[in-house]
Structure 1
Amino acid sequence: MIEQSNPFQKISSLEQALKHLKDGLTIMFGGFGGVGSPPGLIDGMITNNLKNLTLIGNDTGFPHIGIGKVVSQGRAKKVIASHIGSNPVAGKLMNEGLLEVEFSPQGTLVERIRAGGMGLGAILTDIGIDNEMVAYGKKQMQLNGKDYLVEPALTADVSIIYAKKADPYGNLVYDKSARNTNPLVAMAGRFTIAEVEEIVPLGSLNPEEIITPGVFVDMVIPSNGVNWKWVWE
């Protein structure tokens, strides 16, 4: 890797990124059903035999797609998601007591992630307040005569996201539905790693198309062996 004196340069390698992913961490991931999840980072987690993970994201993917590969191999001890229905292995592990699952309605889940990224402690919602399974064990409060559930904000030790393009400063552009949850997840990690399809020179991205500003990204790595060195030539 080329050494750079510019402190704002965030381009790195998969090998370096995986040093930040360790056993027992809480890892938040972007994407929906595997689309928009970072494939290289997920495969690297499996190769490095990570375990005892707490995973936060929209769903558990499919058994052999996305974060589902990590879940299906029993590497997660807990999942916080809106559903696990597309991954029957996750359901089996849950029923056998080998995987703790915290369900959160999809809108509530993404708002909890957004709140975490904004530095808030919790959100108030009336979604699920009349549902025993959703409301069980949760604090409630009344505001302006209306009852709400108190849903804690969500953050993670590391957030892993996937984007279409990045510049050396970590500004990101997403591709259509692969954008799902990634911008919010990027904000909610104490350390955020973006795996990207293409790294372009600084100034190449139209400021109007940048979805995630580089201030929320700590490291950018190329996906599928993309050659990034030309960026600095």
Structure 2
Amino acid sequence: MPAERTGRLGVGTVGAGRVGPVLASALAGAGHALTGITAVSDASRERADAMLPGVPVLTVPEVVERSELVLLAVPDDELEALVAGLAETGAWQPGQLVAHTSARYGTAVLEPALRRGAIPLAIHPAITFTGTSVDRTRLAGAWFGVTAPAPVLPIAQALVVEMGGEPLVVAEADRPAYAEAIETATSFSTAIVEQATGLLAGIGVEEPGRVIAPLVRSAVENALARWAPSTIDLSALAEPFAEEDE
């Protein structure tokens, strides 16, 4: 496999939660062809239809069969079994790119696909998602945690750039620490905001979120200034990081 690829890919997405349709839309905007997406619940089908009009809703095996790049945007606790199950049925194809969006895992979780000849990539967008077109704007300049074997790392980096993001290379062994950093930033900031707005609401303050917004933003800016004074997207801290759902 060459270090860099050119041309358009057929991209299939497994998972129509908050993340999958957004990344698929971004890849389509970069010129790639969308082969299909999986969607189980009514909400996920509505989301897929809204974000990816005209893209067929398929089964998981159909998405894998039709795609040169398979994007796995599923909850962490479903990823390992999904990859292994598809390997057992012989679904993975030699030379096929397989990318997951989990913060927790690197490429080891994709080992069953690798043994079938697929090319493993871990591409995690370090922002929170609403599952709407607003997220497309948030992708611009967002950082993506990228893990991949050295020969194909440029492919993962190129895909991130095509989606408007900035690739941050994370070693396989460092993936748990990376995931902990993401979870800490989102869960603690969310908890603090909810506690503060709750206290203000309790004393009769209307729209407490608007009242504390300037305070929270300035406090976060001050805390981040010593690390990256001009490159942090504070909108990414506005709501908790959510795993994909079906």
**Is the shorter-chain TM-score for this pair beyond 0.5, marking a shared fold?**
no
Name the one with the larger helix percent: 2
Please give the range of the TM-score, normalised by the shorter of the 2 chains.
Answer: 0.3 to 0.5
TM-score (norm 1): 0.35
TM-score (norm 2): 0.34
Name the one with the larger strand percent: 1
